[in-house]
Amino acid sequence: MNQTSEIVTRFRKLGFKITPQRLGIFKLLRNNHSHPSAEDIYREILKVHPSISFTTVYKTLQTLRDLGEINELRIDPERAHYDPNVRDHAHTFCKSCGKISDLEYQPGISAKEMDNRMSADFEVHSFQVHAVGLCSQCKT
């Protein structure tokens, strides 16, 4: 995720107002490694901005996703999660506690290499790899 000032500039160019609530969402996501869901972000931001609506959180996340500032992870069958680390990387998902973590494993093929191998009617923009299992705390 880019610096908050860069995101603010991009939002303004799109005609969005920069509210304290939106700034709070940007700051909450910056360097966040917990892969929060929209609900997680809403609960956290409510502590500082009690008048914020879930719709504001959700629409802000969708705009950040559309701008390429965050990745939307569809690993959890219950809900989407968000990752400000937009570099191609893998994740683990604990099917017991629901924790999502970055996986240091890097696939041997890059998105660009995948794109070169695909047919002319499919263009790869990014890829996600994830492993499903049990985290160290849940497997005991």
For residue 102, the domain's CATH number is 3.30.1490.190
pLDDT at 118 over 60: no
Domain range holding 12? 4-73
Q: What is the pLDDT of residue 63?
A: 94
Q: What is the pTM of this model?
A: 0.77
Q: Do 11 and 58 have their domain in common? A: yes
DSSP string, the chain: ---HHHHHHHHHHTT----HHHHHHHHHHTT--S--BHHHHHHHHHHH-TT--HHHHHHHHHHHHHTTSSEEE--SSS--EEES--SS-EEEEETTT--EEEE----SS-HHHHHHHS-TT-------EEEEE--TTT--
pLDDT in tens, 88-105: 778 888 888 988 988 765
Question: What pLDDT, on a 0 to 100 scale, did the predictor assign at position 79?
Answer: 94
Q: How confident is the model at residue 119 (pLDDT cuts 50, 70, 90)?
A: low
Residue 126 forms part of a structural domain: yes
